[in-house]
Chain A
Amino acid sequence: MKPATPVPIVGIGCICSAGTTLAQCMQSLYRGERYPAPPTRFSFSGTSAFPVFEVLDNFFTPDRWKQTEVLRTSQLALTAALEALEDAGLDPRELQHRRIGVCLGTNVGSSMNNESFYRDNVEGCDPYIPPVERFLLSNPVCGIVSEFELNGPAQTVVNACSAGSDAIGIAASWIRSGLCDAVITGGADEMYRVTYAGFKSLFINDDSPCKPFDAHRKGLNLGEGAAILLLVSQALAQELRLGPRGYVLGYGSASDAYHFTKPRPDGKGLRRAIEEALAAAEVNSGDVAFINAHGTGTIDNDLAESIVLSEMLPGVPFLSTKGYTGHTLGASGAIEAAFTIACLETGRIPASAGFSVPDPQLPGLPVAQNTPVSGSVAISETLAFGGNNAVLVLGKGIPTIEHND
């Protein structure tokens, strides 16, 4: 495998239950605030309503998007994209006529699961199809391409819960190969009743606020949101005088090849992904300041992850931020990458929300309070249905590489 050239991240946008901008989110995380509550955007006839992490409806989206029944997932993505461009100091018009790609991860945003259409169809009501057509044409990637009038490759990654991380890794690859001058990348997903019912059917929801890596963890809480990272080539960064907030240093991904909904207990796929990402970044495990773990709060995920982290990155502090955001599915890898960069900037990681009682079965445990970290490199990792594992090595600067040869 060839070493990966660092790719500048010049703008970041983030929206989730913790806040409608990245700055708001980080403030909320460092204060230890979290807002799980029963879902308000749909009704559910189950015996108990599991808490979720919803985004308040007052977030900014252009009016024309609200009027044309654009998917909520796409509205979340656009909101984060607008923040990312503003963060970079870029007028969207500056992107036109350049090779700008869009690569996002999502789940709900790409599924043809329009419930009202289907309900009418099974009831023999001949549902009207334009809403489905709009659904098919307004996934978050198509929405951003259309909004900013872009002309580069556009791609929707649907690797379940690792989609956001995979999208960022792919986007960095497009920059390195010269395919694009810039890529709008990240992930987005909305709270949706069918997804909620699906996770309930798997019995992996916690009926209380989730407790990643805690001895009393019972499962995950769903969340929604989006995060967008604007990656650019070094040449474009110089031309437009864009200062990097961080870098994508490396990316690795691997499969468990084990079970569709359970992580491989020995974490073999995750190990391979971490090894690949560190090797691509030419970073040693000792250089890693902290790890933003996947940490869903399910029994199996947290056990496998804890084992792998304690063996591969012993002593490196780690946390899960899902206690603040819920599991935002295709957005989670992107949201957590955004948090990781923000933590590198401040030199501090928030307490792993929900963790208080150590589980004796877990060889590694997350930080229980806000913790200072030193160093310029961190890892953000995601695990997914289907046994996907995706790992990003992110930096606030380009690490100095010492070669022995």
Chain B
Amino acid sequence: MNITIKGIGTVGGFGAGISALQQSLATRQTSAQMVSLDTSKGPIRIPALLADTTSVQAYVDKRALRRIDHYIRMALLGSFLALEDAELLDSKPERMGIIVATGYGATCNTFDFQHSVITAGDPSGSPTKFSNSVHNAAAAHISIILRELGPNLSISHYDMSMPSALLNAIQWLKEERVDWVLVGGVDEFCKVLGYYWHCHYGNTGSSTQATGRAASVNRHAVVGEGSCFFVLTREDECTSAYGCIEDVQLGNFERGRVDLPDNSPFVLGADGFSPGDTRYAELLPRDCRPAVYTPLYGSLPVGMAFDMAIAALALRSGTMAPSPDDLLPALPGLPLLRKMQMPAGKRISCLKLGAGNAFGLVTLQRN
């Protein structure tokens, strides 16, 4: 049995849809915006890769969007684009489950609700902001808009949220609980996170308050936001051009083994922010030429979803795009893929090393 990727939908600082992501891979550029933050020393500006969700109106009625915030819109847009890519938009499949991964949840609503409580007094919080701040807000709104009564799950485990979500999606399909799973990751930028970011990177790339994070890898990190969703199904033979999910591993690389596949190119989730960024060279084979695409979508906890999308596109095209070399974080001991590699081979692994020596490994494979 194969867990096949039938559709991909993505939105981020590079634009909306897989064509925008492909364009970004080809040009190795995205458009970071400068965001203003207030500090005690006056306003500062930091770069951020922000997502435009205007095109969600093509899929969701304007009235339904009235009380739906940016975080949920990103998730909805990614979901609809994935369903459209899978040619399921007009005939939503039966027995579909929904799984949403998020590292931080709906941070703007979370902090807005706190703001209303702090500034206007305890009893003055907005009920809409509170309910939309709950971590399963995105998954719930997707099910409500799609009228999908199948199982619905939200996972929030920082950098490991996306591989965790995938682990469940695969379990659901193997157990035949559902025939389809819409699974993806979403995270949003907010100014409080921006401040947190600024404290790590400052104006010089050095950490101003960081605790245990390596300043040398922070130099090129840009905060990102967006969503990336996949439509998965179960097939006897993998017929999808995107390939199938061969393996998902989660664990702790200090205490246990990471079973790296042979002959697989690697896409690393080194985003210049994760404490694990300095450890990839210890795990990967010496002759490995991994690729890193985080500068294209930014640093966000569910970044592995974007790496998976890029890997699936590479399997489809047979071409693995070079890393955007002028934007890359420094990865000690790792020579990165700088030139177009042809062909990509039949297998690509996405590896993320996170806080606390946690790792997530997702291997995609095409027959």
Contacts and interface: CB of A to CB of B under 8 A. Distances in A.
B209 A130 contact: yes
Interface string B94-124: 0000100010110100110111011101111
A235 interface: no
A151 B39 contact: no
Q: Which DSSP category, helix, strand, loop or mixed, fits chain A's interface?
A: mixed
A170 B153 CA distance: 10
Interface stretch (B83-91, B134-142, B277-285): B134-142
Nearest to A98: B256
Interface string A159-187: 11000001000100110110100000000
B205 interface: no
Contact of B156 (A152, A158, A173): A158
Contact of A110 (B132, B135, B147, B251): B135
A34 to B, nearest CB: 25
B130 A257 contact: no
B251 A151 contact: yes
B40 A118 contact: no
Interface in A272-326: 272, 276
A182 B125 CA distance: 42
A177 B174 contact: yes
Interface stretch (A75-83, A134-142, A366-374): A134-142
Nearest to B145: A257
The residue among A107, A118, A158, A193 with the most chain B CB atoms within 10 A of its own CB is: A158
A391 to B, nearest CB: 11
A269 B140 CA distance: 13
A260 B150 contact: no
B157 A156 contact: yes
Interface in B338-359: 355-356, 358
B216 interface: no
Contact of B175 (A1, A197, A199): A1
A194 B175 contact: no
Contacts of B111: 113, 118
Interface stretch (A10-18, A239-247, A248-256): A248-256
Given A154-B358, A173-B175, A194-B114, A160 B136 contact: yes
B137 A386 contact: yes
A258 to B, nearest CB: 7
A362 interface: no
Interface in A117-139: 117-119, 121-122, 124-130, 132-133, 136-137, 139
A156 B155 contact: yes
Nearest to A152: B251
23 contacts: A4-B175, A45-B122, A96-B255, A124-B40, A127-B195, A145-B252, A151-B252, A153-B250, A153-B251, A155-B168, A158-B134, A174-B171, A197-B113, A202-B130, A254-B150, A257-B148, A259-B144, A261-B127, A384-B136, A385-B134, A385-B136, A386-B139, A387-B143
The 7 closest A-B pairs by CB, nearest first: A386-B140, A198-B130, A158-B135, A151-B256, A153-B250, A151-B255, A201-B125
